[in-house]
Chains A and B, each alone.
Chain A
Amino acid sequence: DAGITQSPRHKVTETGTPVTLRCHQTENHRYMYWYRQDPGHGLRLIHYSYGVKDTDKGEVSDGYSVSRSKTEDFLLTLESATSSQTSVYFCAITGTGRLGRELFFGEGSRLTVL
């Protein structure tokens, strides 16, 4: 199994509060991704990273920021959460390491913004 963990797995917060989701990997993979999943939309890319301090925007990046100060950690921050950001968030990793080019997903983080 790929060593990828997300935290927290569940969170309920109020509109306007900051929220940070963490993705941690033990595979030393170069690429890390944050997706959100909503009914009827599949997985939509928020941000991704291709190395330490190297990140780029995805399809739905507004309202989100990311940071990657270490290979193993990719943080997703909602500076001021809104109800439209209620979703299930998935982190994924890929690279050319031990696990090859397969894209591995975390278990997901369910965020509810009231």
Chain B
Amino acid sequence: SQELEQSPQSLIVQEGKNLTINCTSSKTLYGLYWYKQKYGEGLIFLMMLQKGGEEKSHEKITAKLDEKKQQSSLHITASQPSHAGIYLCGADIIQGAQKLVFGQGTRLTINP
């Protein structure tokens, strides 16, 4: 099993709807990254969170790291076709080691 669990693994939403993707670990997360990947392409950096309770937004995407630093959520407001792709969370699970592991990804489809 992977150190980071993402849910759901697959998500289909109607264009314009809001959605949330979760990333959970049984261990403390030191440095939490969110990436997006278009099918068959490279990875696009979205955001990095480090402090418990931290929240960052970019355009219609908001990411938050909970106070215990064991769960992060990625929220997309008013989804658009351009949001479609695979979303990956990654984190350093050993403080200071920079051993960065990733979840299994969430495949997002936006229906018009």
Query: Do chains A and B stick together as partners?
Result: yes
A-B contact count (CB 8 A): 57
Asked if A62 is an interface residue, CB under 8 A from chain B, the answer is no
What is the CA–CA distance of A59 and B101 in the complex, to the nearest angstrom? 8
Question: What B residues does A45 contact at CB under 8 A?
Answer: 99-102
Q: How far is the CB of A44 from chain B (nearest CB, A)?
A: 7
Assess the A58–B101 pair: CB atoms within 8 A. yes
Asked if B108 is an interface residue, CB under 8 A from chain A, the answer is no
* With A42-B102, A101-B48: A90-B31 Cβ-Cβ less than 8 Å: no
A interface secondary structure, majority: strand
What is the CA–CA distance of A102 and B35 in the complex, to the nearest angstrom? 11
Q: Which of A11-19, A73-81, A103-111 contacts B (4 or more CB under 8 A)?
A: A103-111
Asked if A92 is an interface residue, CB under 8 A from chain B, the answer is yes
Interface string of A27-47 (1 = CB under 8 A from B): 000010101000011111100
Asked if B43 is an interface residue, CB under 8 A from chain A, the answer is yes
How many of chain A's residues touch chain B, expressed as a range? 20 to 34
- The count of residues in chain B whose C-beta lies closer than 8 Å to any C-beta of chain A is 22
Question: What A residues does B31 contact at CB under 8 A?
Answer: 101
Assess the A90–B43 pair: CB atoms within 8 A. yes
Question: What A residues does B99 contact at CB under 8 A?
Answer: 45, 48, 56, 58
Assess the B2–A42 pair: CB atoms within 8 A. yes
Assess the A103–B90 pair: CB atoms within 8 A. yes
Asked if A25 is an interface residue, CB under 8 A from chain B, the answer is no
Asked if A64 is an interface residue, CB under 8 A from chain B, the answer is no
Assess the B100–A103 pair: CB atoms within 8 A. yes
Task: Please name the residue on chain A nearest to B103 by beta carbon.
Answer: A42
Residue from the list B3, B45, B97, B98 in contact with A102, Cβ < 8 A: B45
Interface string of B69-105 (1 = CB under 8 A from A): 0000000000000000000101000000111111111
B contacts, CB < 8 Å to A: 2-3, 6, 9, 31, 33, 35, 42-43, 45, 48, 88, 90, 97-105
Can you list 18 A-B contacts with CB-CB less than 8 angstroms, sorted by A residue number? Answer: A31-B98, A33-B100, A41-B2, A41-B104, A42-B88, A44-B101, A44-B102, A45-B99, A45-B101, A50-B97, A90-B42, A94-B98, A101-B31, A103-B45, A103-B100, A104-B45, A105-B35, A105-B42
